[in-house]
Amino acid sequence: PPSPPSLPPSPPATPPPSLPSCLLGDVCTTGPCLITDGGSCATSPDFPNDYPNLRRGLHHLRPEGCTLYGMPPVGLDVIAFDVEEHSNCIWDYLTVNGVKYCGTSGPAGVVPSDGTMTWVSDDRRRRPRRRRPCRHACSATSAPP
């Protein structure tokens, strides 16, 4: 039998209802992460300094984190990645497509199928902040292509 026709890449899925709306074509964020280099990269705040640890609330501790959403369906180009390492990524991690990444191996080439990625940090030791995954090639000293 003939194979089904290939479909063009689909736009990112609508963000979960808990996220604010994001204009089509924009990459948006909740929390302290920053969109840089004309929208092609994301960094933790104050990069390259330490990224933030857990924030203390009135009666409990809650993880510091952010969610980036509205990302196009293209593979992530990880320029630099360095978060606290653990074999199960239980302290600090980046989640893309339900998979947690920590240590120095980020999600290079991974396509965020729902157009989102989420970063979480706990109250443990701090690591030097690094460039977060980028949608296009970029570096700390050059603009996106």
Options 2.60.120.290, 3.40.50.1370, 2.40.128.50, 3.40.50.150; CATH for 28-134 is: 2.60.120.290
What's the pLDDT at 98?
Answer: 93
% pLDDT > 70, the chain: 59
The domain segmentation of the chain, as residue ranges, is 28-134
Q: Which residue has the higher pLDDT, 137 or 38?
A: 38
d(CA 132, CA 77): 9
> What pLDDT is stored for residue 39 in this prediction?
72
**Between residues 59 and 29, which one has the greater pLDDT?**
29
pLDDT (mean) for 46-73: 63
The percentage of the chain sitting over the pLDDT mark of 90, rounded to a whole number, equals 7
Given pLDDT bands bounded at 50, 70 and 90, which one contains residue 137?
very low
